[in-house]
Amino acid sequence: MRKFSLSLAVLAGCVALVAGSALPGQESGRKPGNNAAAVARGKTIFQQKCTVCHYDTSDQKKIGPGLKGISKRGTFSVNGNKITDENLKAWIENGDQLMPGLKDSLEASQIKDVIAYVKTL
């Protein structure tokens, strides 16, 4: 019985530790979808759909601008709009004269994941 109680206490401690800790790269209390899993999904989608035109590991222009450090830039270079989740979403969905909109080829959740990834660059 004593062994069982000790095991139960250790298990409870581990569960509390895991439940209260964040994954690497994830702050606790962050919004759902803006976590390591979303970033990983976003990276995969980016590599499938976006690397044709954009670098993610460089700020050098490919066909479109390199996106490394985009969150630190503050504004889009083409129109001066502030870089926010909503503006990134609108840009990805609708594109412009140089970039095709992707709202017909990506689901809303995929766009959120790409935004989560792009914000880590």
Sequence-separated contacts (24+) of 87-96 with Cβ below 8 Å: 88/115, 88/118, 89/115
Q: Count Cβ neighbours within 10 Å for each residue of 69-78 and write b for 16 or more, e otherwise.
A: ebeeeeebee
Structure confidence at residue 60 (pLDDT): 94
End-to-end distance of the chain based on CA atoms, in angstroms?
53
Write out the two tokens for 1: 């019985």
Tell me the DSSP string of 80-95. Answer: --B--HHHHHHHHHHB
Structure confidence at residue 12 (pLDDT): 38
Q: How far is CA 84 from the centre of its chain?
A: 13
- Residue extents of the structural domains in the chain: 28-118
Write out the two tokens for 105: 């080829």
Structure confidence at residue 89 (pLDDT): 95
Could you tell me the CATH superfamily of domain 28-118?
A: Cupredoxins -  blue copper proteins (2.60.40.420)
Structure confidence at residue 92 (pLDDT): 95
Write out the two tokens for 94: 């609708």
Question: With 80 as the cut, is the pLDDT of residue 94 above it?
Answer: yes
